[in-house]
Amino acid sequence: MTKLAFVFPGQGSQEVGMLADAREACADLFAEASSVLGYDLWDLVENGPEDQLNQTEYTQPALLTASIALFRLAQARGLPSPDVVAGHSLGEYSALVAADVLQFSDAVMLVQKRGQ
């Protein structure tokens, strides 16, 4: 029997321009995150500046949103739901959202506070 697991990354995998090829697929989720955060997260992720994106209070919401965007994109393209989810450090929040234990907007608020 085959089992599928997703492991979400922690801080350190961010870079300016990540997800540029997935803009349309990510737009709604980034808009939702931006409304919670009070700033344009997509603009920061796509245009930087890199030193701001690398500040923990900005990195953590960016990586959470990117991880969930890619997770939802994979599901929309037919990848089955995982049997198990896990995350390294910050990735634990992405895993909780992917497992439907935590609402995305609540996770955005939590990681914003976590990063401050």
| Whole-number pLDDT of residue 71 | 97
* pLDDT value at residue 25: 86
Q: Extract the tokens encoding 5.
A: 């697991």
How far the first Cα of the chain sits from its last, in Å, is: 43
pLDDT of 19 reads: 87
Contact 91, 48 (CB under 8 A): no
Query: Is residue 33 situated within a structural domain?
Result: yes
* Domain-located, residue 113: yes
Q: Which domain holds residue 116?
A: 19-79+101-116
In a domain, 67, yes or no: yes
In a domain, 86, yes or no: no
Q: Is residue 6 part of a domain?
A: no
What's the pLDDT at 5?
96
Number of compact structural domains in the chain: 1
Residue 90 lies in a domain: no
Averages of pLDDT over runs of 10 residues in the chain (116 residues) are 93 88 90 98 96 96 97 95 96 98 98 96
- The predicted pLDDT at position 68 comes to 97
Q: Is residue 66 part of a domain?
A: yes
- Inside any domain, residue 53: yes
Residue 12's pLDDT is: 87
The whole-number pLDDT of residue 23 equals: 86
